[in-house]
Amino acid sequence: MGAKVIDIVVLGAAFAAGTFFVGWWSVPVIALAWGWLVGPARRPATRAAVGAALAWMGFLANDAMRGPAGRLARTLGAVMHLPAAVLVGLTVLFPVILAWSAAVVGAESAPGSRAGST
């Protein structure tokens, strides 16, 4: 397994644990720390975004197996005049945007980065 895959798996586990034990706001905190630790040379934003997407897709899959998540998505989609798939996509897009943007900020503020060295 390559380093990128390992990073994504570790980040996915960290995002899942953070979300489960602390809440959604742990996603940008973890991504910010990740970006700061690895710096801009490793381009951490994409890995953080994929890890967050995997973690939250895991939560959605777990909910779908344990309860009527599909029915809820259809009902909520009908109320909002959106297809259920759009709601599921937005649910995954939320942590992706949080993780990506926080990882960029963390990487650019890391020691040795252009922004962090001034």
pLDDT of residue 33: 96
64, part of any domain: yes
Query: CA 102 to CA 118: how far, in whole Å?
Result: 20
74, part of any domain: yes
Whether 97 and 50 have beta carbons less than 8 Å apart is answered as no
118, part of any domain: no
Query: CA 32 to CA 75: how far, in whole Å?
Result: 35
Q: For 1-118, where are the alpha helices, taking DSSP H only?
A: 3-21, 26-38, 44-66, 69-80, 84-108
10, part of any domain: yes
As for how many domains the chain has, the answer is: 1
Q: What is the pTM of this model?
A: 0.86
117, part of any domain: no
C-alpha pair distances (Å), 47 with each of 54, 62, 114: 11, 22, 21
Q: Which domain holds residue 28?
A: 3-108
What pLDDT, in 10s, does the model give residues 49-98? 999 999 999 998 888 888 787 788 888 888 888 888 888 899 999 999 99
